[in-house]
Amino acid sequence: MVRRRGIYEVNVLGKSLTCLFCQGNQFRHREVYMDLQPLGQKVTNQLTFQSLTCTSCGDNRMFQEKEILHQTSEKQVSSIEYTEVIQE
Ligand SMILES: [Zn+2]
């Protein structure tokens, strides 16, 4: 499990992420792994989620990170971008 230290402002698919409950835009990050076994199948898929917890109200959201094609540079980039918030 990967855990980024600190607090982040997060962009998902190029849009700034805001909390649905308090409109906060600062989050703590944690990476979560889940094993999913589709019904009737023997294979297990491991899925990775980026768990983001609002620093003001504690609401938690999970995203699946993907590679997307950046519109201007045409490179593969992550769908989730993190900008660390420097605290004084
Ligand atoms: Zn919140």
- Considering just the CA atoms, what is the radius of gyration of the chain in Å? 15
Convert the pLDDT of each residue in 2-13 to its tens digit.
Answer: 667 889 999 998
pLDDT for 26-74, tens place per residue? 999 999 998 988 888 888 888 899 999 999 999 999 999 888 887 788 8
- Would you state the pLDDT for residue 2? 65
Q: CA geometry: angle at 19 spanning 15 and 21, to 5°? A: 145
Distance 33 CA to ligand 1 centre (A): 23
Ligand 1 centroid vs 41 CA: distance in angstroms? 38
pLDDT band at residue 88 under the 50/70/90 scheme: low
- Quote the ligand 1 centre to 18 CA distance (angstroms): 8
pTM, full prediction = 0.79
Beta bridge partners of 15: 12
- Compute the distance from residue 50 Cα to the ligand 1 centre, in Å: 17
Q: What is the pLDDT of residue 55?
A: 96
CA of 60 to the centre of ligand 1 (A): 8
